[in-house]
C-alpha cells in the first residue's frame, strides 16, 4: 500500500550520485522535497529536474532540501547532475525499494502497452519525517510550478 499524507516517510539508505551511502533519514529535523523521476537525461526528467534547480533558492529560503530519486545507477545520475548543473543530490534506487514504499513504482501504460516502472511522483516531508504533500503520476511540464504554488 502506498504511503499517503500523514504517514511517516521511509528512511532507507540508497547510494547518491557520488556513490556514497545516503538515507532520507539523514534529513531528519529538516523539511524535504523528494521527487521520483523515471530516467536520467531524458527530456521529461530534465524538464522536471531543471524546474527544481531553477527554484532551488526559493525552496531553500522556505527551509526545504531537495532530493531526486530514480532507478538509474549512481554513475548515470552523476552525469545527469553534471550535465544539467543540478545543485541537489540524486539517489539511485536501482531495486526500486524506496519507490515501492512511496507507491512510486507500479504499472504504467505507454501506447497501449503495460509495464512496471517508476511513476513520476513528488512528496514533501516535514521536520518530523511525516509526508505533508503527495503529487502522484504527474507530468513533467508545469509540475514544479504547482509544487511551488502549493508548498511555498
From 24, 45, 69, 147, active-site residue:
45
Question: 27: which DSSP letter?
Answer: G
User: Does the active-site annotation cover 45?
Assistant: yes
Measured distance CA(66)–CA(89) in Å, rounded: 7
Measured distance CA(114)–CA(121) in Å, rounded: 18
Active site amino acids: 45
Amino acid at each position: 500500500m502506498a504511503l499517503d499524507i500523514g504517514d511517516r516517510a521511509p528512511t532507507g539508505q540508497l547510494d547518491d550520485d557520488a556513490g556514497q551511502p545516503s538515507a532520507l533519514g539523514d534529513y531528519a529535523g529538516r523539511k524535504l522535497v523528494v521527487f521520483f523521476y523515471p530516467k536520467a537525461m531524458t527530456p521529461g526528467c530534465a524538464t522536471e529536474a531543471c524546474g527544481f534547480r531553477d527554484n532551488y533558492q526559493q525552496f531553500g529560503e522556505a527551509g526545504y532540501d531537495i532530493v531526486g530519486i530514480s532507478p538509474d545507477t549512481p554513475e548515470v545520475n552523476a552525469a545527469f547532475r553534471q550535465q544539467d548543473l543540478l545543485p541537489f543530490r540524486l539517489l539511485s534506487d536501482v531495486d526500486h525499494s524506496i519507490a515501492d514504499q512511496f507507491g512510486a513504482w507500479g504499472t504504467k501504460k505507454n501506447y497501449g502497452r503495460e509495464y512496471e516502472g517508476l511513476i513520476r511522483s513528488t512528496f514533501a516531508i516535514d521536520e518530523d519525517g511525516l509526508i505533508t504533500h503527495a503529487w502522484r503520476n504527474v507530468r513533467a511540464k508545469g509540475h514544479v510550478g504547482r509544487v511551488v504554488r502549493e508548498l511555498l
